[in-house]
Amino acid sequence: MGKNLAGKSAFIVAVLVVFVFGIVGIPHGGLKQSITDRIHLGLDLKGGTHLVLEVHVAEAIASATDRDVARLQADLQKAGVVGATVGKTDPSRPQAIVVSGVPVAKQSDVRTVLGNSDYSIYDVASGSNGSSTLTMKQSAERDLATRTVDTSIETIRERIDKLGVAEPLIQKYGLGENQILVELPGISNPGQVEEVIQSTAKLAIHAVVGGPFATDQDALQANAGVLPADAMLLKGTGSAGAPEQVWLLKRASEVEGTDFRDAQPSQDQNGRPNITFTLTTEAGDRFYKYTQEHQASSATPGSMAIVLDNKVREVAGINSAIRDRGEIEGGFTKQQADDLSLMLRTGALPASISYLETRTVGPSLGAASIRQGVMASVVGMVAVMLFMLVYYKGAGINADLALMLNLLILLGFMGFTGSTLTLPGIAGVILTIGMGVDSNVLIFERIREELRAGKTAVSAVQQGFAHAWVTIVDTHVTTIVSAGILFLFGTGPVKGFAVTLVFGLAANLFTAVFVSRLIFDTILSKKDRGAALSI
């Protein structure tokens, strides 16, 4: 018996040492610093910024179909279908592409091209006069929307990480469609981070069809009141310091943000900030073909517009063919050049985003929350421990030790896993204390019943733990399942509550049953057979 108790005691001590290490790690810079390095504070405790963003997935769908319009036009020309028109005729249906003007003799060639696997994501419907309408399948739209949101999350996370924001929370927001939750604890410059996220770097280079015009009406008049199906109007300055004007651009971009492999802040010949960029191999080949055909010395010279966030930032002539390296000039400040190059390096968002909610928590409010939360935990724990001592006498010491060990193991869990402690997480700690007391009450009351039935102290303890065990496991498992659901579908603070609750319940099973039982067995081993138990 003695060896068995000694082995169990050694095991408990080893567990406690492991979880103490989980709380403090290797001490450096003082005990408090070591603990704060291991147990991270959430937004509501540390202060920071809470954002809810909406991703405009319709833009990604429109961009995808714009690219397919250009590709389909090229494929039809390769197949010898001359005179066919490919475009999107209905602005309210960006997922639909219309092929019209197909000669009767070439309709079979068109069907062959449309049967290509490149267009398998579209449903093809035949119309009058040999026309065809390609409509993106709903499953393909859903997949594209999901990829767009996922890519946006990863891109925003990479940008935030580059800025050095510690412990950011960036995930899908379960309360809305195509929304993202961003929480940045301890952020020192929320304005800069907000600008980096808000400037979505939806950068693209478009061919200039016409302009500049003073107004949209002027642009329409210059085109007989009807815009070409493959063109669009965008406003912008076109150069640094110029007034805002209107430009007619080709709808499909020649190069867009996802084609950028690298971007770095630099300076032009006059020492003004600009950005140098490098394209992917495929995009470089495509861009070289376009710039070679439209350089100033060619038969069809042209210009290109650099569009950022649906604004024309720069319009430039094409002096020579450009393959995979180029420069972006636009009257940037040094900070703007640094931020834009960062966004392009970390990947362009596939669609623009807008803010649905912005909320800031100050550090002072977070500090007050910590004080109040810790005070509530301490007062609650002290009150519970006093109650257990008064009501259960000597056995109350057993319960109090189990509660303290429970809290120690819970904090160790959080330290090892790098979990973030939030204000709801503190509520989870308090609830864990209550669950721990509940377990001890179940065990102690069962032991009292066995003693009243005339059992010896040893037998009463054995029967008390054996009968209470099933009930304790049942209550803990059902609560853990509920906490798991909260973790899967909840937002950041709710997840914090669920995490601390699950960790606390797991620790409680260990302390209320294993540790508490060992303490009872140790006490009984030192008592004479038939001696009374203080409970």
Position 29 pLDDT exceeds 90: no
Beta-strand (E) ranges in 280-428?
Answer: 303-308, 311-317, 325-328, 353-361, 420-421
Position 377 pLDDT exceeds 90: no
Q: If 0-12 CB within 10 Å is exposed, 13-18 middle and 19+ buried, where does residue 38 land?
A: buried
Residue-range domain boundaries for the chain: 2-41+365-525, 57-140, 199-359
Question: What CATH number labels 57-140?
Answer: 3.90.1070
Q: Are 443 and 465 in contact (CB under 8 A)?
A: yes
Average pLDDT over residues 284-292: 87
What confidence tier does 488 reach under pLDDT thresholds 50, 70, 90?
confident
Residue 42 pLDDT? 73
CA 461 to chain centroid, in Å, comes to 50
Q: Are 249 and 219 in contact (CB under 8 A)?
A: no
3-state percent helix, strand, coil for the chain, nearest multiple of 5: 55, 20, 25
Domains 2-41+365-525 and 199-359 share a fold: no
Q: What is the DSSP letter of 88?
A: -
The packing angle between helices 31-38 and 394-417, to 10°, is 70
Residue 330 pLDDT? 61
Pick from 3, 6, 1, 12: nearest CA to 513: 12
Q: Which among 107-116, 191-200, 265-274 has the top mean pLDDT? A: 107-116
Average pLDDT over residues 1-12: 76
What confidence tier does 165 reach under pLDDT thresholds 50, 70, 90?
low
Does the domain formed by 2-41+365-525 have CATH 1.20.1640.10? yes
Does the domain formed by 199-359 have CATH 3.30.1360.200? yes
289: CB partners within 8 A, 6+ apart = none
Residue 213 pLDDT? 92
Position 201 pLDDT exceeds 60: no
Q: Are 255 and 279 in contact (CB under 8 A)?
A: yes
Residue 190 pLDDT? 61
Residue 434 pLDDT? 82
Pick from 524, 514, 436: nearest CA to 14: 514
Q: Quick one: three-class SS letters along 109-159?
A: HHHHHHCCHHHCCEEEEECHHHCEEEEECHHHHHHHHHHHHHHHHHHHHHH
Q: What is the DSSP letter of 514?
A: I
**Per-residue pLDDT reduced to its tens digit, 411-451:** 888 888 777 777 788 888 888 888 888 888 888 899 899 88
Position 47 pLDDT exceeds 80: no
Position 364 pLDDT exceeds 70: no
Tokens encoding 333? 């400040």
- Cα-only R_g, the chain: 34
Return the minimum-mean-pLDDT range out of 30-44, 55-69, 87-101, 226-240: 30-44
What confidence tier does 132 reach under pLDDT thresholds 50, 70, 90?
very high
383 against 533, higher pLDDT: 383
Position 473 pLDDT exceeds 80: yes
